[in-house]
């Protein structure tokens, strides 16, 4: 008896923690090896053990309970514009940045470096999502800085240091840096050309690196304590991209005023603010009037990171579901041995593995883009495909996995509750679903060769499954003329994602998983809810493969 006079605590599975999230994840270790990043396994295993530790789960719970607070003024009445965090958040940031999750792809020159970094992100998206926003933006900022060799040389090495420094100081004085991105204004986030913040030259110098002063606002500014941030403002030549420090070299706050913090549905440990710029000191990055072109390269990386992140969320949800249903008993059997429950968990596992392979394949395409034009085309067209589909599926997967836990899953003590509130977010920032689908169509229209690169990739599995052959042929027909696809853009992009996932599973996953995927997702015998599988699916083998929780 553990302290109750009335009853014993029975049949409660306990927490799934203190596991190496990398080594215990068979599909992930296989994907990392298949896409050229096996050399990073020791670092991934160390990070997997950290992100999967009881300590990180404790810190994540604390950081999401004790939320960031905005302090606009100090006690003497001066503007301060700082955000104060619980120590748990700083500890988490120290771990994620200390493990080079933001910089691994830039500091390792080997092929597979982007795959390894994507795997790091996948692991941390199972640890705590609130640190993944600054981690992902800091990683991606290097792509935008490449528009200016001098600014890249100045900041790149500092950004890439494997360190987090919470000090309130100018970036020049800090051990490690975080980078944010403030684009969205009140009147429009998707339509960035509607930006009304203005930038005026501060000196006679023009061109990238020139000093400007910015006046206006941003409606969303996550990570307001970031040491540097990228932002957009209108110049005489149009919308332009700027790099601004959070603090000036003399240690004073750059000319910005934090208005308030957003009270968010999820992602609560991370601060997201509203901000006004009052003559913000900033330098032009890239050409005047080409701001979207400059920042879009950063967005390409953050979009991949959200596909990876949503895949990580799904993996964590499935791991929790396998763990719980394996240990919880009802009607004299483990839940997972009840045929309907086994079908639900297997279906979730199929879904999760499909997203993993898609996101890692696109990280591999990114890795090889510089050397192989076909890989660059694939990355261009399929990164938004993956962003759309993985972000769309994550909330559905998490909701079903939550239900596998019965009432416990809905209670705020449980990790599932946090995943549930987190899951829709990746579909919103860095481009909502519609905007992302339109981006896919735009790629096809501007670079018709992207369609061929996509179909060639899907065709790598030609002959492996009749359903995929028929599905790919139909898709090739639909994509013959991208003009006029806008009203059916979601249908087309969804089909592209499913064809890509099927092709990858047929080439890389066991037949139990790939056959089940093709016979359900490719116009197959499948219901609208998870678990509505046809007869004959090898659910036992699929659940066995998915489960870190299976080894009791």
Ligand X SMILES: Cc1cc2nc3c(=O)[nH]c(=O)nc-3n(C[C@H](O)[C@H](O)[C@H](O)COP(=O)(O)OP(=O)(O)OC[C@H]3O[C@@H](n4cnc5c(N)ncnc54)[C@H](O)[C@@H]3O)c2cc1C
Residues that bind ligand X in the complex, under the rule CB under 6 A: 180-184, 188-190, 220-222, 264, 267, 272, 425, 428-429, 432-435, 438
Cβ proximity to ligand X: between 168 and 438 the closer is 438
Around Cβ 412, how many Cβ atoms within 10 Å?
A: 11
Compute the least distance from the CB of residue 20 to ligand X, in Å: 30
Compute the least distance from the CB of residue 337 to ligand X, in Å: 40
Cβ proximity to ligand X: between 237 and 434 the closer is 434
Instruction: Please tell me the distance from the alpha carbon of residue 326 to that of residue 199, in angstroms, as a whole number.
Output: 59
Compute the least distance from the CB of residue 488 to ligand X, in Å: 13
Compute the least distance from the CB of residue 385 to ligand X, in Å: 16
Cβ proximity to ligand X: between 99 and 272 the closer is 272
Compute the least distance from the CB of residue 233 to ligand X, in Å: 13
CB closest to ligand X, residue no: 189
Nearest residue to 471 via CA among 443, 441, 445, 503? 503
Cβ pair 84, 68 in contact under 8 A: yes
Cβ proximity to ligand X: between 190 and 491 the closer is 190
Compute the least distance from the CB of residue 222 to ligand X, in Å: 3
Nearest residue to 356 via CA among 110, 125, 148, 52? 125
Residue 219, CB-side half-sphere exposure with 13 Å CA sphere: 11
Phi, psi angles (nearest 5°) of residue 487: -65, -25
Phi, psi angles (nearest 5°) of residue 253: -65, 135
Cβ pair 512, 538 in contact under 8 A: yes
Cβ proximity to ligand X: between 48 and 482 the closer is 482
Instruction: Please tell me the distance from the alpha carbon of residue 96 to that of residue 424, in angstroms, as a whole number.
Output: 23
Q: Would you state the torsion angle of the CA atoms of residues 490, 492, 497, 502, taken in this order, to the nearest 10 degrees?
A: 140
- CA torsion sign, 492 to 496 to 501 to 506? positive
Cβ proximity to ligand X: between 121 and 269 the closer is 269
Cβ proximity to ligand X: between 182 and 542 the closer is 182
Structure tokens that stand for 480 in this block: 């013959």
Cβ proximity to ligand X: between 215 and 369 the closer is 215
Compute the least distance from the CB of residue 546 to ligand X, in Å: 30
DSSP string, 383-398: HHHHHHHHHHHHHHHH
Residue 498, CB-side half-sphere exposure with 13 Å CA sphere: 25
**Distant-in-sequence, close-in-space partners of 407: CB < 8 Å, separation ≥ 6:** none
Cβ proximity to ligand X: between 271 and 504 the closer is 271
Structure tokens that stand for 422 in this block: 């987190």
Cβ proximity to ligand X: between 275 and 381 the closer is 275
- With residue 401 as reference, give the H or E element that holds it: helix 373-404
Compute the least distance from the CB of residue 358 to ligand X, in Å: 22
Compute the least distance from the CB of residue 306 to ligand X, in Å: 11
Cβ proximity to ligand X: between 405 and 421 the closer is 421
Around Cβ 388, how many Cβ atoms within 10 Å?
A: 29
Nearest residue to 353 via CA among 160, 541, 535? 541
Compute the least distance from the CB of residue 544 to ligand X, in Å: 37
Compute the least distance from the CB of residue 152 to ligand X, in Å: 22
Instruction: Please tell me the distance from the alpha carbon of residue 526 to that of residue 389, in angstroms, as a whole number.
Output: 18
Report how far apart, in Å, the C-alpha atoms of 119 and of each of 25, 84, 105 are: 11, 30, 11
């Amino acid at each position: 008896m553990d302290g109750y006079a009335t009853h014993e605590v029975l049949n409660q599975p306990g927490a799934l923690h203190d596991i190496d999230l990398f080594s215990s994840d068979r599909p992930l270790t296989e994907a990392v090896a298949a896409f050229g990043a096996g050399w990073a396994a020791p670092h991934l295993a160390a990070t997997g053990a950290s992100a999967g530790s009881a300590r990180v789960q404790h810190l994540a719970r604390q950081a999401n309970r004790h939320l960031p607070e905005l302090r606009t003024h100090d006690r003497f009445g001066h503007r301060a514009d700082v955000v104060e965090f619980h120590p748990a958040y700083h500890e988490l940031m120290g771990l994620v940045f200390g493990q080079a999750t933001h910089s691994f792809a830039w500091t390792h020159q080997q092929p597979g470096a982007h795959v390894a970094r994507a795997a790091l992100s996948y692991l941390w998206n199972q640890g705590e999502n609130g640190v993944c926003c600054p981690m992902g933006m800091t990683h991606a900022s290097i792509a935008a800085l490449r528009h200016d060799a001098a600014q890249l040389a100045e900041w790149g090495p500092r950004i890439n240091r494997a360190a987090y420094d919470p000090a309130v100081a100018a970036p020049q004085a800090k051990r490690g840096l975080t980078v944010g991105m403030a684009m969205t204004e009140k009147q429009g986030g998707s339509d960035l050309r509607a930006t009304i913040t203005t930038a005026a030259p501060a000196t006679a110098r023009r061109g990238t690196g020139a000093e400007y002063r910015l006046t206006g606002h941003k409606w969303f500014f996550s990570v307001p304590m970031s040491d540097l941030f990228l932002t957009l403002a209108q110049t005489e030549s149009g919308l332009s991209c700027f790099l601004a420090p959070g603090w000036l070299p003399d240690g004073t706050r750059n000319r910005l005023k934090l208005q308030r913090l957003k009270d968010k549905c999820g992602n609560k440990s991370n601060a997201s603010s509203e901000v006004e710029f009052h003559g913000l000191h900033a330098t032009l990055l890239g050409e005047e009037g080409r701001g979207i072109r400059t920042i879009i390269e950063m967005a390409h990386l953050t979009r991949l990171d959200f596909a990876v992140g949503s895949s990580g969320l799904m993996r964590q949800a499935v791991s929790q579901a396998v763990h719980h249903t394996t240990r919880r008993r009802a009607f004299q059997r483990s839940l997972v041995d009840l045929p309907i429950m086994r079908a639900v968990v297997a279906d979730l596992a199929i879904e999760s593995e499909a997203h993993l392979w898609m996101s890692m394949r696109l990280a591999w395409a990114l890795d090889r883009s510089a050397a192989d034009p076909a890989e660059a085309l694939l990355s261009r067209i399929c990164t938004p495909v993956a962003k759309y589909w993985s972000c769309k599926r994550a909330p559905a997967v998490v909701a079903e996995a939550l239900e596998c836990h019965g009432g416990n899953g809905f209670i705020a003590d449980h990790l599932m509750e946090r995943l549930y509130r987190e899951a829709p977010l990746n579909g919103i920032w860095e481009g909502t679903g519609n905007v992302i689908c339109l981006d896919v169509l735009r790629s096809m229209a501007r670079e018709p060769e992207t369609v061929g690169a996509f179909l060639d990739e899907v065709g790598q599995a030609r002959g492996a499954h009749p359903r995929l052959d028929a599905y790919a042929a139909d898709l090739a027909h639909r994509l013959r003329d991208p003009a006029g696809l806008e009203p059916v853009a979601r249908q087309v992009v969804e089909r592209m994602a499913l064809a890509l996932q099927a092709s990858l599973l047929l080439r890389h996953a066991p037949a139990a998983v790939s056959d089940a995927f093709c016979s359900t997702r490719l116009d197959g015998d499948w219901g609208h809810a998870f678990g509505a599988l046809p007869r004959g699916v090898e659910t036992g083998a699929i659940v066995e493969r998915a489960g870190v929780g299976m080894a009791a």
